[in-house]
Amino acid sequence: MVEIKISDQLKFSCPSIRLGVIKADVKYGQDNKFLGQEIEKTVYEVQNSLSQNQIAELPVIRHTRDAYLALGKEPARYRCSAEALLRRVVQGKGLYRINNAVDIINLISLQFHFSIGCYDYHKLREPIEFAIGKENENYQAIGRGIMNIAYLPVFRDSSGAFGSPTSDSERTKLTVNTKDILIVIIDFNGTDPLIEAMEKTLLYLKEFTDTGNAQCSVMV
């Protein structure tokens, strides 16, 4: 199983932090009818149960925003991916489709409100650490260009930072050639429904991506 060390500095600022880590091999395509139906159902439920003003007060979102503040990062300017996704859906913009592996991660974020990293495992160079972004540190974020990751919680391997709860990097994103994925569900509070989110992720992966050889662990 892949090990992800949480840095002492990050633990000091976020003492209840834990990570739900899943590694699996996948076969995925551009679309899946039944996954699409599940997404449409969830999008409808989110649109009809939340307002923009309620999103920041959802427990998991609030805990993530509190973690950003504890690290000195403005959560309204560098919104976590789960909050940004919820806001998009509540605005009626729907859920953009990429491929069924990424679509599953976005679906879990909508359902459980966690920010989730999803990486091409073979593009990573262990050891991997979850730490705090350094002064003036940045990377090429997916769909965002160069992003300032100073004081954000960031994942880092021996080649440098590659992911954060706000946006992951281009370096480790999934492509049509990805065979093994690493998923990390980020729980800043330690009391949020992490196990349930992991179980649902594994269920969706098995159902919609022909996942084999899945391994999972909670890391603190």
Torsion of CA 25, 30, 31, 35, to 10 degrees: 40
* Inter-CA distances, 11 with 18, 32, 59, 149, 188, Å: 9, 39, 20, 18, 10
Give the model confidence (pLDDT) of 123-179 as tens digits.
999 999 999 999 999 999 999 999 999 999 999 999 999 999 999 999 999 988 899
Tell me, what's the pLDDT at 212?
A: 73
pTM over 0.85: yes
Tell me, what's the pLDDT at 28?
A: 65
Among candidate residues 19, 22, 17, 18, the one with its CA nearest the CA of residue 2: 22
For the domain spanning 4-219, the CATH number is 3.50.40.10
Tell me, what's the pLDDT at 33?
A: 87
Using pLDDT thresholds of 50, 70 and 90, give the confidence band for residue 211: confident
Give the model confidence (pLDDT) of 68-120 as tens digits.
999 999 999 999 999 999 999 999 999 988 888 999 999 999 999 999 999 99
Residue 13 has pLDDT above 80, yes or no: yes
Average pLDDT, the chain: 95
The DSSP letter of residue 138 is E
Per-residue b/e over 135-147, b at no fewer than 16 CB within 10 Å? eebebebbeeeeb
Q: Which two tokens stand for residue 167?
A: 């946006």
Domain coordinates of the chain in residue numbers? 4-219
How far is it, in rounded angstroms, from Cα 140 to Cα 145?
5
Q: Which has the higher per-residue pLDDT, 139 or 211?
A: 139
Answer yes or no: are the C-beta atoms of 35 and 104 closer than 8 Å: yes
Q: Which two tokens stand for residue 18?
A: 């834990």
Give the model confidence (pLDDT) of 19-45 as tens digits.
999 999 987 666 788 999 999 999 999
